[in-house]
Amino acid sequence: MIRIALVDDHSLFRRGLKVLLSSHPDFEIVADASSGEEFLDGLAESRPDVVFMDYAMPNMNGAETTRRALEIRPEMSVITLSMFGENAYYSAMMASGAKGFMLKDSEFDEVVEAVETVYGGGTYFSASLLESLSRSMHMTDRGVASADDEIFESDRLSSREIEVLVAICQGLSTQEIADSLFISKRTVDKHRANILEKSGCKNTASLVVYAIKNGLVEV
């Protein structure tokens, strides 16, 4: 059983999500909190594996709650819940250690996929959220930096790989990236493979997280 906690100050939404999650045979709801303080007070007893965390809560927001919770239970995975258009919150939640990001109007099958993905150690972006972020992203000054700049703590990407990564985050297809950079699709695929290897990412969603964390794109 995957132990799940819900943290959201909107009781109607929280109760609805609780009913849906409780219907899954592999999920157990172990905490149902209306605030970050309430969740933290019961964390030692509830011991959740996965937490659905709202960001915009009074007194203590989702980022601060996540940071404190992971200090107590670092093996736990946090999925951020947000309304459409709250893009400014994602960087704060990622910095606090969140592993999943979903819009509150996501389909239930996406919710199940998110739980299973982060429980297995992965990072999850819902399809609708990824589309929203892709439309709103733009390059930062670092996005046009040279390969010699100290951008990454580990293996650094070349300037061309950075261009390809930013284009991926903007939602461009392989053909669109090739056309915009005047290179072949095969070259784009090679750059994508190199980016995945250097970043340790497994899919587009985790590449978006990686790019935001490293300051290559902003939301």
**Cross-strand pairs, 31:** 5
CATH 3.90.550.10 fits 2-129, yes or no: no
Tens digits of per-residue pLDDT, 103-132? 888 889 999 999 998 999 888 887 777 666
92 or 67, greater pLDDT: 67
Q: Of 110-124, 126-140, 147-161, which range is least confident?
A: 147-161
**How far is it, in rounded angstroms, from Cα 207 to Cα 94?**
13
Domain ranges of the chain: 2-129, 137-218
Single pTM value for the model: 0.72
Q: What is the mean pLDDT of the chain?
A: 84
DSSP-derived 3-state class of residue 77? strand
Same fold, 2-129 and 137-218: no
Residue 177: what pLDDT? 92
Residue 219: what pLDDT? 56
**How far is it, in rounded angstroms, from Cα 154 to Cα 201?**
13
What is the average pLDDT across 170-177?
84
Cα three-residue angle 184-187-192, rounded to 5 degrees: 130
**How far is it, in rounded angstroms, from Cα 152 to Cα 198?**
10
**Cross-strand pairs, 82:** 103
150 or 218, greater pLDDT: 218
CATH placement of domain 137-218 = 1.10.10.10
